[in-house]
Amino acid sequence: MTKVWALLGVLTILVVVAFAAGCGTASDKDQARQGAKKKVESKSQDVRQEAKEKVQARKQEAKNKVEALQEKVDDLRKDVDDLKKEVQDLQKKINAHEQKEQQQQINQLKKALNELKKKVGAQQQ
């Protein structure tokens, strides 16, 4: 019977040692899982950050393009305004020239009329 008790004690010790060894392995697995999980989370965070930076860079690039286009539009508007002013100035010059020509024609007609009056007056005398 003592042999049975001794074997039972050894068996109990072996079971306790095996259980302890099994728990250590599970703990190592948990640590490995946690390490892998942290790596995945870290990689995910890096990918998110890179994507965010790319989006920001593209936003800034688009903003710069919009600003450049706005400057071009402003320049074109200024050019159009300058051209409108030039057209107005030319129109004034044309009007002034036409008015001058009309005044010259009126003066010529008055002169011709005065000459005709003199001829009629001379013929009546």
Report pLDDT digits (tens) over 14-26: 777 666 555 555 5
Return the amino acid letter for 89.
Answer: D
Nearest to 6 by CA among 14, 20, 22: 14
What pLDDT shows up at residue 4? 66
Report pLDDT digits (tens) over 40-68: 898 889 999 999 999 999 999 999 999 99
Q: How is the chain split among helix, strand and coil, in percent rounded to 5? A: 100, 0, 0
- Residues 48, 53, 56, 61, Cα dihedral to 10°: -140
**pTM for the whole thing?**
0.49
